[in-house]
Structure 1
Amino acid sequence: MSGPRFSPAFREELHQLFAWRRDVRAFRTDPLPEGLLERLIATACLAPSVGLSQPWRFVEVTEPARRAAIRANFEAANAEALAAQDSCRQTAYARLKLAGLDDAPCHLAVFADAATAQGHGLGRRTMPEAIDYSAVLAIHTLWLAARAEGIGVGWVSILDPAGVGRALEVPEGWHFVGYLCIGHPQAEHEVPTLELSGWDHRRPAESFLLRR
Protein backbone atom coordinates (compact mmCIF):
# COMPACT_ATOMS: atom_id res chain seq x y z
CA MET A 1 0.00 0.00 0.00
CA SER A 2 1.23 3.46 -0.81
CA GLY A 3 1.12 6.17 1.80
CA PRO A 4 -1.01 9.32 1.58
CA ARG A 5 0.05 12.12 -0.74
CA PHE A 6 -0.24 15.61 0.74
CA SER A 7 -0.66 18.51 -1.64
CA PRO A 8 1.33 21.77 -1.51
CA ALA A 9 -1.88 23.50 -0.40
CA PHE A 10 -2.22 21.09 2.54
CA ARG A 11 1.43 21.57 3.52
CA GLU A 12 0.90 25.35 3.50
CA GLU A 13 -2.15 24.98 5.73
CA LEU A 14 -0.18 22.69 8.03
CA HIS A 15 2.50 25.36 8.32
CA GLN A 16 -0.21 27.90 9.18
CA LEU A 17 -1.49 25.56 11.88
CA PHE A 18 1.97 25.42 13.45
CA ALA A 19 2.37 29.19 13.18
CA TRP A 20 -1.03 29.94 14.73
CA ARG A 21 -0.68 27.51 17.64
CA ARG A 22 -0.54 29.79 20.63
CA ASP A 23 -0.23 29.41 24.38
CA VAL A 24 -3.59 31.01 25.15
CA ARG A 25 -3.88 32.98 28.37
CA ALA A 26 -7.31 34.62 28.05
CA PHE A 27 -10.40 32.51 27.39
CA ARG A 28 -14.10 32.95 26.84
CA THR A 29 -16.22 31.10 29.37
CA ASP A 30 -18.61 29.37 26.95
CA PRO A 31 -18.31 25.57 27.02
CA LEU A 32 -16.57 23.39 24.48
CA PRO A 33 -18.74 21.76 21.80
CA GLU A 34 -20.22 18.44 22.87
CA GLY A 35 -17.76 15.57 22.39
CA LEU A 36 -14.83 17.79 21.41
CA LEU A 37 -12.62 16.95 24.40
CA GLU A 38 -13.04 13.23 23.76
CA ARG A 39 -12.17 13.78 20.10
CA LEU A 40 -9.05 15.77 21.02
CA ILE A 41 -7.89 13.07 23.44
CA ALA A 42 -8.44 10.39 20.79
CA THR A 43 -6.22 12.40 18.44
CA ALA A 44 -3.62 12.90 21.19
CA CYS A 45 -3.40 9.13 21.56
CA LEU A 46 -2.07 8.95 17.98
CA ALA A 47 1.15 10.58 19.19
CA PRO A 48 4.37 8.54 19.09
CA SER A 49 5.49 6.95 22.35
CA VAL A 50 8.62 5.13 23.44
CA GLY A 51 8.19 1.38 22.91
CA LEU A 52 4.50 1.93 22.05
CA SER A 53 4.01 2.45 25.78
CA GLN A 54 1.28 5.12 25.44
CA PRO A 55 2.07 6.33 28.97
CA TRP A 56 -0.12 9.45 28.85
CA ARG A 57 -2.90 9.69 31.39
CA PHE A 58 -5.54 12.43 31.20
CA VAL A 59 -7.57 13.79 34.12
CA GLU A 60 -10.47 16.13 33.31
CA VAL A 61 -10.83 18.39 36.34
CA THR A 62 -14.46 19.42 36.83
CA GLU A 63 -15.07 19.39 40.60
CA PRO A 64 -15.02 22.97 42.03
CA ALA A 65 -13.05 21.93 45.11
CA ARG A 66 -10.30 20.33 43.03
CA ARG A 67 -10.15 23.34 40.71
CA ALA A 68 -9.86 25.57 43.77
CA ALA A 69 -6.98 23.45 45.05
CA ILE A 70 -5.18 23.80 41.73
CA ARG A 71 -5.82 27.58 41.79
CA ALA A 72 -4.33 27.83 45.29
CA ASN A 73 -1.37 25.73 44.17
CA PHE A 74 -0.78 28.12 41.27
CA GLU A 75 -1.05 31.22 43.46
CA ALA A 76 1.58 29.91 45.87
CA ALA A 77 3.94 28.82 43.09
CA ASN A 78 3.42 32.08 41.22
CA ALA A 79 4.26 34.14 44.30
CA GLU A 80 7.52 32.21 44.64
CA ALA A 81 8.28 32.71 40.94
CA LEU A 82 7.66 36.45 41.24
CA ALA A 83 9.98 36.72 44.23
CA ALA A 84 12.68 34.82 42.32
CA GLN A 85 12.68 37.27 39.41
CA ASP A 86 15.42 39.87 39.09
CA SER A 87 14.22 43.24 40.38
CA CYS A 88 14.20 44.65 36.83
CA ARG A 89 11.92 41.80 35.71
CA GLN A 90 9.46 41.71 38.61
CA THR A 91 7.17 44.44 37.28
CA ALA A 92 7.03 42.86 33.84
CA TYR A 93 6.39 39.43 35.36
CA ALA A 94 3.58 40.75 37.55
CA ARG A 95 1.80 42.14 34.47
CA LEU A 96 1.68 38.76 32.74
CA LYS A 97 -1.55 36.79 32.85
CA LEU A 98 0.00 33.40 33.40
CA ALA A 99 -3.10 31.22 33.73
CA GLY A 100 -6.55 30.75 32.29
CA LEU A 101 -7.63 28.93 35.42
CA ASP A 102 -10.54 31.28 36.11
CA ASP A 103 -12.25 31.40 32.71
CA ALA A 104 -11.32 28.34 30.64
CA PRO A 105 -14.27 25.93 30.60
CA CYS A 106 -12.10 22.81 30.42
CA HIS A 107 -9.19 21.87 32.68
CA LEU A 108 -7.12 18.84 31.72
CA ALA A 109 -4.20 17.51 33.76
CA VAL A 110 -1.74 15.27 31.92
CA PHE A 111 0.42 12.68 33.64
CA ALA A 112 2.90 10.03 32.50
CA ASP A 113 2.56 6.57 34.00
CA ALA A 114 6.14 5.55 34.71
CA ALA A 115 5.05 2.12 35.91
CA THR A 116 3.12 1.13 32.82
CA ALA A 117 3.86 -2.39 31.61
CA GLN A 118 2.75 -1.54 28.10
CA GLY A 119 5.71 -1.47 25.74
CA HIS A 120 7.63 -3.95 27.94
CA GLY A 121 10.25 -1.32 28.80
CA LEU A 122 11.49 -0.97 25.23
CA GLY A 123 13.64 2.15 24.79
CA ARG A 124 13.56 3.13 28.46
CA ARG A 125 16.60 1.42 29.92
CA THR A 126 19.07 4.24 29.30
CA MET A 127 16.51 7.07 29.02
CA PRO A 128 13.59 6.41 31.38
CA GLU A 129 12.55 10.05 30.94
CA ALA A 130 11.36 9.09 27.45
CA ILE A 131 8.08 8.14 29.19
CA ASP A 132 7.56 11.82 30.09
CA TYR A 133 8.66 12.93 26.62
CA SER A 134 5.98 10.68 25.13
CA ALA A 135 3.31 12.42 27.22
CA VAL A 136 4.62 15.79 26.00
CA LEU A 137 4.20 14.61 22.40
CA ALA A 138 0.59 13.71 23.21
CA ILE A 139 0.05 17.22 24.60
CA HIS A 140 1.48 18.81 21.46
CA THR A 141 -0.69 16.60 19.25
CA LEU A 142 -3.79 17.59 21.23
CA TRP A 143 -2.73 21.24 21.06
CA LEU A 144 -2.51 21.23 17.27
CA ALA A 145 -5.80 19.34 16.94
CA ALA A 146 -7.48 21.91 19.18
CA ARG A 147 -6.07 24.80 17.15
CA ALA A 148 -7.46 23.20 13.98
CA GLU A 149 -10.89 23.30 15.64
CA GLY A 150 -10.51 26.98 16.59
CA ILE A 151 -9.93 26.06 20.24
CA GLY A 152 -7.13 27.48 22.37
CA VAL A 153 -4.88 25.71 24.86
CA GLY A 154 -2.89 27.24 27.69
CA TRP A 155 -0.20 25.23 29.49
CA VAL A 156 0.00 26.13 33.19
CA SER A 157 3.50 25.17 34.26
CA ILE A 158 3.76 27.28 37.43
CA LEU A 159 2.50 24.55 39.75
CA ASP A 160 3.92 22.26 42.42
CA PRO A 161 3.72 18.79 40.80
CA ALA A 162 3.31 16.89 44.07
CA GLY A 163 0.49 19.19 45.10
CA VAL A 164 -1.31 18.59 41.81
CA GLY A 165 -1.07 14.84 42.28
CA ARG A 166 -2.49 15.09 45.80
CA ALA A 167 -5.32 17.40 44.73
CA LEU A 168 -6.38 15.05 41.95
CA GLU A 169 -5.70 11.83 43.88
CA VAL A 170 -3.94 10.08 41.03
CA PRO A 171 -2.13 6.74 41.40
CA GLU A 172 1.42 6.67 42.72
CA GLY A 173 3.93 6.49 39.90
CA TRP A 174 2.11 9.00 37.71
CA HIS A 175 4.43 11.91 36.88
CA PHE A 176 2.74 15.25 36.48
CA VAL A 177 3.57 16.67 33.03
CA GLY A 178 1.21 19.56 32.39
CA TYR A 179 -2.03 21.28 33.33
CA LEU A 180 -3.98 22.48 30.31
CA CYS A 181 -6.67 25.14 30.14
CA ILE A 182 -8.80 24.56 27.04
CA GLY A 183 -11.45 26.82 25.53
CA HIS A 184 -12.30 29.50 23.01
CA PRO A 185 -9.61 32.20 22.98
CA GLN A 186 -10.65 35.79 23.61
CA ALA A 187 -8.32 36.99 20.85
CA GLU A 188 -6.21 35.53 18.06
CA HIS A 189 -2.52 36.35 17.56
CA GLU A 190 0.08 34.82 15.28
CA VAL A 191 2.79 36.38 17.43
CA PRO A 192 3.29 34.75 20.86
CA THR A 193 1.75 36.70 23.73
CA LEU A 194 5.07 36.88 25.57
CA GLU A 195 6.64 38.46 22.50
CA LEU A 196 3.78 40.95 22.19
CA SER A 197 4.28 41.89 25.84
CA GLY A 198 8.01 42.42 25.34
CA TRP A 199 9.02 39.57 27.65
CA ASP A 200 11.24 37.98 25.01
CA HIS A 201 11.34 37.29 21.28
CA ARG A 202 11.68 34.34 18.94
CA ARG A 203 15.08 33.53 17.53
CA PRO A 204 15.56 32.36 13.93
CA ALA A 205 15.63 28.62 13.35
CA GLU A 206 19.25 28.61 12.15
CA SER A 207 20.41 29.84 15.58
CA PHE A 208 19.45 26.44 17.07
CA LEU A 209 21.29 24.24 14.55
CA LEU A 210 24.76 22.91 15.28
CA ARG A 211 26.60 20.91 12.63
CA ARG A 212 29.49 18.56 13.37
Structure 2
Amino acid sequence: MIAEPPNLLATFQARRTVDLAALRPDPIPHGTVLRLLEAANWAPSHGRTEPWRFAVFTGEGRRVLSDALATSLALIKGEPQADPEVVRAQRERQLLAPVWLAVAAEPAEKPKMPLHEEQWATVCAVQNLLLAARALGIASKWITNAPSMHEHTRKRLHFSERAHMMGLIYLGYPAGEWPQGERRAVEEKVRWVE
Protein backbone atom coordinates (compact mmCIF):
# COMPACT_ATOMS: atom_id res chain seq x y z
CA MET A 1 0.00 0.00 0.00
CA ILE A 2 1.24 3.49 -0.79
CA ALA A 3 1.83 5.66 2.26
CA GLU A 4 -0.06 8.94 2.22
CA PRO A 5 2.24 11.79 1.21
CA PRO A 6 2.80 14.45 3.86
CA ASN A 7 0.52 16.85 2.00
CA LEU A 8 -2.06 15.19 -0.23
CA LEU A 9 -3.38 18.50 -1.58
CA ALA A 10 0.17 19.42 -2.66
CA THR A 11 0.32 16.16 -4.65
CA PHE A 12 -2.96 17.05 -6.39
CA GLN A 13 -1.63 20.51 -7.19
CA ALA A 14 1.71 19.20 -8.45
CA ARG A 15 0.29 16.53 -10.78
CA ARG A 16 1.00 17.61 -14.34
CA THR A 17 1.13 15.97 -17.73
CA VAL A 18 4.74 15.51 -18.85
CA ASP A 19 5.43 15.27 -22.60
CA LEU A 20 7.02 12.13 -24.04
CA ALA A 21 10.06 14.11 -25.18
CA ALA A 22 10.67 15.17 -21.56
CA LEU A 23 11.10 11.61 -20.20
CA ARG A 24 14.28 9.71 -19.40
CA PRO A 25 14.50 6.18 -20.87
CA ASP A 26 15.24 4.65 -17.43
CA PRO A 27 13.05 1.63 -16.70
CA ILE A 28 10.53 1.78 -13.88
CA PRO A 29 10.86 -1.20 -11.54
CA HIS A 30 8.11 -3.81 -11.84
CA GLY A 31 7.33 -3.39 -8.12
CA THR A 32 6.81 0.35 -8.55
CA VAL A 33 4.38 -0.17 -11.43
CA LEU A 34 2.57 -2.71 -9.29
CA ARG A 35 2.27 -0.11 -6.50
CA LEU A 36 0.66 2.31 -8.95
CA LEU A 37 -1.79 -0.37 -10.10
CA GLU A 38 -2.57 -1.11 -6.45
CA ALA A 39 -3.42 2.57 -5.96
CA ALA A 40 -5.73 2.35 -8.98
CA ASN A 41 -7.34 -0.76 -7.54
CA TRP A 42 -8.61 1.22 -4.53
CA ALA A 43 -10.84 3.48 -6.62
CA PRO A 44 -14.52 3.65 -5.72
CA SER A 45 -17.03 1.75 -7.82
CA HIS A 46 -20.78 1.72 -7.46
CA GLY A 47 -21.90 -1.79 -6.55
CA ARG A 48 -18.28 -2.78 -5.85
CA THR A 49 -17.91 -3.91 -9.46
CA GLU A 50 -14.22 -2.90 -9.83
CA PRO A 51 -14.48 -2.61 -13.63
CA TRP A 52 -10.99 -1.22 -14.35
CA ARG A 53 -8.66 -3.37 -16.42
CA PHE A 54 -5.06 -2.63 -17.34
CA ALA A 55 -2.53 -4.11 -19.74
CA VAL A 56 1.10 -3.14 -19.04
CA PHE A 57 3.62 -2.79 -21.89
CA THR A 58 7.36 -2.57 -21.20
CA GLY A 59 10.52 -3.48 -23.09
CA GLU A 60 9.80 -5.24 -26.38
CA GLY A 61 6.15 -5.58 -25.33
CA ARG A 62 5.71 -1.95 -26.40
CA ARG A 63 5.88 -3.16 -30.04
CA VAL A 64 2.60 -5.03 -29.55
CA LEU A 65 1.00 -1.75 -28.50
CA SER A 66 2.58 0.31 -31.27
CA ASP A 67 1.54 -2.18 -33.96
CA ALA A 68 -2.04 -2.24 -32.64
CA LEU A 69 -2.22 1.56 -32.67
CA ALA A 70 -0.73 1.84 -36.16
CA THR A 71 -3.32 -0.61 -37.52
CA SER A 72 -6.16 1.14 -35.69
CA LEU A 73 -5.06 4.46 -37.20
CA ALA A 74 -5.09 2.88 -40.68
CA LEU A 75 -8.59 1.46 -40.09
CA ILE A 76 -9.82 4.89 -38.96
CA LYS A 77 -8.52 6.29 -42.26
CA GLY A 78 -10.28 3.51 -44.20
CA GLU A 79 -7.04 1.75 -45.10
CA PRO A 80 -6.76 -2.06 -44.76
CA GLN A 81 -3.31 -1.98 -43.16
CA ALA A 82 -0.82 0.44 -41.68
CA ASP A 83 1.74 2.16 -43.85
CA PRO A 84 5.27 0.93 -42.92
CA GLU A 85 6.35 4.51 -42.18
CA VAL A 86 3.43 4.92 -39.74
CA VAL A 87 4.40 1.64 -38.04
CA ARG A 88 8.00 2.87 -37.69
CA ALA A 89 6.92 6.23 -36.29
CA GLN A 90 4.48 4.60 -33.86
CA ARG A 91 7.20 2.22 -32.61
CA GLU A 92 9.56 5.16 -32.04
CA ARG A 93 6.83 6.94 -30.10
CA GLN A 94 6.15 3.97 -27.82
CA LEU A 95 9.88 3.62 -27.10
CA LEU A 96 9.99 7.15 -25.64
CA ALA A 97 8.27 6.00 -22.42
CA PRO A 98 9.48 2.94 -20.52
CA VAL A 99 5.95 1.93 -19.46
CA TRP A 100 2.62 2.13 -21.26
CA LEU A 101 -0.71 1.08 -19.79
CA ALA A 102 -3.81 0.36 -21.83
CA VAL A 103 -6.95 1.04 -19.81
CA ALA A 104 -10.41 -0.43 -20.26
CA ALA A 105 -13.69 -0.51 -18.35
CA GLU A 106 -15.15 -3.99 -18.27
CA PRO A 107 -18.72 -4.38 -17.03
CA ALA A 108 -19.72 -7.67 -15.45
CA GLU A 109 -21.15 -10.43 -17.63
CA LYS A 110 -24.54 -9.58 -16.12
CA PRO A 111 -24.10 -5.85 -15.53
CA LYS A 112 -25.30 -4.48 -12.21
CA MET A 113 -24.55 -0.89 -13.18
CA PRO A 114 -24.99 1.20 -16.33
CA LEU A 115 -21.93 1.47 -18.57
CA HIS A 116 -21.32 5.13 -17.72
CA GLU A 117 -20.90 4.25 -14.03
CA GLU A 118 -18.34 1.59 -14.88
CA GLN A 119 -16.47 4.09 -17.05
CA TRP A 120 -16.57 6.71 -14.29
CA ALA A 121 -15.19 4.21 -11.80
CA THR A 122 -12.37 3.44 -14.23
CA VAL A 123 -11.65 7.16 -14.53
CA CYS A 124 -11.33 7.26 -10.73
CA ALA A 125 -8.85 4.36 -10.90
CA VAL A 126 -6.81 6.26 -13.50
CA GLN A 127 -6.77 9.38 -11.32
CA ASN A 128 -5.60 7.34 -8.33
CA LEU A 129 -2.79 5.94 -10.48
CA LEU A 130 -1.75 9.36 -11.82
CA LEU A 131 -1.65 10.87 -8.33
CA ALA A 132 0.30 7.93 -6.92
CA ALA A 133 2.76 8.26 -9.82
CA ARG A 134 3.32 11.94 -9.01
CA ALA A 135 3.81 11.13 -5.32
CA LEU A 136 6.54 8.65 -6.34
CA GLY A 137 8.25 11.10 -8.72
CA ILE A 138 6.98 9.42 -11.89
CA ALA A 139 5.72 11.50 -14.79
CA SER A 140 2.62 10.48 -16.72
CA LYS A 141 0.09 11.33 -19.38
CA TRP A 142 -3.35 9.91 -20.11
CA ILE A 143 -4.17 9.69 -23.84
CA THR A 144 -7.69 9.17 -25.19
CA ASN A 145 -7.17 9.62 -28.92
CA ALA A 146 -9.11 7.67 -31.56
CA PRO A 147 -6.54 4.87 -32.11
CA SER A 148 -6.28 4.20 -28.36
CA MET A 149 -10.07 3.88 -28.11
CA HIS A 150 -10.57 1.86 -31.30
CA GLU A 151 -12.20 -1.56 -31.36
CA HIS A 152 -9.17 -3.07 -33.12
CA THR A 153 -6.96 -1.86 -30.28
CA ARG A 154 -9.26 -3.54 -27.76
CA LYS A 155 -9.14 -6.82 -29.64
CA ARG A 156 -5.40 -6.74 -30.38
CA LEU A 157 -4.58 -6.02 -26.72
CA HIS A 158 -6.76 -8.96 -25.64
CA PHE A 159 -9.36 -7.13 -23.61
CA SER A 160 -12.68 -8.98 -23.35
CA GLU A 161 -15.64 -8.43 -25.67
CA ARG A 162 -17.37 -6.56 -22.83
CA ALA A 163 -14.48 -4.14 -22.32
CA HIS A 164 -14.61 -0.52 -23.47
CA MET A 165 -11.27 1.16 -24.11
CA MET A 166 -10.53 4.16 -21.92
CA GLY A 167 -7.20 5.13 -23.48
CA LEU A 168 -3.52 4.82 -22.69
CA ILE A 169 -1.24 6.07 -19.96
CA TYR A 170 2.50 6.40 -20.30
CA LEU A 171 4.88 6.53 -17.36
CA GLY A 172 8.50 7.58 -17.04
CA TYR A 173 10.93 9.59 -14.99
CA PRO A 174 11.10 13.26 -15.96
CA ALA A 175 14.32 14.44 -17.61
CA GLY A 176 14.05 17.93 -16.15
CA GLU A 177 11.92 20.08 -13.94
CA TRP A 178 8.27 19.31 -13.32
CA PRO A 179 5.96 21.47 -15.42
CA GLN A 180 4.18 24.12 -13.42
CA GLY A 181 0.41 24.36 -13.48
CA GLU A 182 -2.15 27.05 -12.92
CA ARG A 183 -5.82 26.99 -12.10
CA ARG A 184 -8.37 29.76 -11.94
CA ALA A 185 -9.73 30.37 -8.45
CA VAL A 186 -12.11 27.67 -7.27
CA GLU A 187 -14.61 30.40 -6.35
CA GLU A 188 -15.17 30.97 -10.09
CA LYS A 189 -16.44 27.40 -10.42
CA VAL A 190 -18.56 26.95 -7.30
CA ARG A 191 -22.03 28.10 -6.36
CA TRP A 192 -23.13 27.85 -2.72
CA VAL A 193 -26.77 27.20 -1.89
CA GLU A 194 -27.37 27.73 1.81
User: Which category describes the TM-score, using the shorter chain as reference length?
Assistant: 0.7 to 0.9
Match for residue 133 of structure 1 among 120, 127, 140: 120
State the SS of the aligned residue for 1:61.
Answer: strand
Structure 1 residue runs of 4 or more that deviate by more than 6 Å after TM superposition? 74-77
Aligned residue pairs total: 170
Identify the residue that residue 187 of structure 2 maps to in structure 1: 206
Change in 2 beyond 3 A, CA 1:149/1:32: same
What displacement does 1:129 show?
0.5
Measured in 2, the distance between the counterparts of 1:208 and 1:188 equals: 29
Contact 1:55-1:135 at 8 Å conserved across structures: yes
- Worse-matched range after superposition: 18-27 or 51-60: 18-27
Change in 2 beyond 3 A, CA 1:190/1:25: closer
In the alignment, residue 107 of structure 2 is paired with which amino acid?
A
Change in 2 beyond 3 A, CA 1:183/1:74: farther
Matched, 1:72 2:62: no
Change in 2 beyond 3 A, CA 1:211/1:74: farther
Contact 1:71-1:101 at 8 Å conserved across structures: no
Q: Alpha-carbon deviations, 1:76-106, whole Å to 9, x = none?
A: 69x9xxxxxxxxxxxxxxxxxxxx6331101
In the alignment, residue 16 of structure 2 is paired with which amino acid?
R
Q: Alpha-carbon deviations, 1:65-86, whole Å to 9, x = none?
A: 4122245268669x9xxxxxxx
Percent identical: 31
Change in 2 beyond 3 A, CA 1:186/1:74: farther
Matched, 1:188 2:182: no
Instruction: Report the RMSD for the aligned CA atoms in angstroms.
Output: 2.9
In the alignment, residue 144 of structure 2 is paired with which amino acid?
S
In the alignment, residue 66 of structure 1 is paired with which amino acid?
V
What displacement does 1:64 show?
4.3
TM-score, L = length of structure 1? 0.69
Contact 1:152-1:185 at 8 Å conserved across structures: yes
Contact 2:46-2:121 at 8 Å conserved across structures: yes
Contact 1:55-1:116 at 8 Å conserved across structures: no
Identify the residue that residue 167 of structure 2 maps to in structure 1: 178
In the alignment, residue 206 of structure 1 is paired with which amino acid?
E
Measured in 2, the distance between the counterparts of 1:74 and 1:187 equals: 33
Contact 1:31-1:105 at 8 Å conserved across structures: yes
Contact 2:55-2:102 at 8 Å conserved across structures: yes
State the SS of the aligned residue for 2:54.
Answer: strand
Match for residue 34 of structure 2 among 26, 38, 41: 38
State the SS of the aligned residue for 1:58.
Answer: strand
Contact 2:37-2:129 at 8 Å conserved across structures: yes
Measured in 2, the distance between the counterparts of 1:207 and 1:54 equals: 34
TM-score, L = length of structure 2? 0.75
State the SS of the aligned residue for 2:104.
Answer: strand
Identify the residue that residue 101 of structure 2 maps to in structure 1: 108
Q: Mark the runs of 5 or more structure 2 residues left unpaired by the alignment.
A: 78-92
